[in-house]
Amino acid sequence: MRSFLKSFCYAFRGIGYQLTYERNFRIHCFAALTVCLAAALFYDFSSFEWCLLVLQICLVIGVESLNTAIEQTDNKITTKPSKHIRRAKDSAAAAVLIFAIGSLVLAYHLFWDVRVFREIIAFFSVWYYALLLAVYVAIILIFVFCRKTYKKGK
């Protein structure tokens, strides 16, 4: 039982590493958070639609994690240029891209509603909601692109 619980610690340590050092992982996490907030505030999704949304988010973030694992392993194997290592890294990155494109297709089908877009614009036309949105975007930009957290090699 103890080793089972330790496996969760390792998984959370991996998430912590990626949040600290992997910019693309942070981008995916904030995109997921933003999409979920928008869905909760402005859309009336069914349970099935929520399941699809959460599943797609988990798939993209999971594949991004696998991409990081492949990159880290390849970087440990050799620092010399290798066409095989490059192909492995490119293929892992392609997997993330494929899942991200799938997310865009799902997002189009779930979110494309001009009536809701008008509602969102009206909502953020109130100055304090617009300010809240600006602060949210600033926090995301700082957290995602902050140089302090984006130093590789640690």
Residues recognised as catalytic: 64
Q: How many whole angstroms separate alpha carbon 11 and alpha carbon 127?
A: 41
Q: How many whole angstroms separate alpha carbon 7 and alpha carbon 12?
A: 9
* 46 burial via Cβ count (<10 Å: 0-12, 13-18, 19+): exposed
Per-residue burial over 121-147, b = 16 or more CB atoms within 10 Å of its CB, e = otherwise: eeeeeeeeeeeeeeeeeeebeeebeee
Q: How many whole angstroms separate alpha carbon 67 and alpha carbon 63?
A: 6
Amino acid identity of residue 88, one-letter, is: A
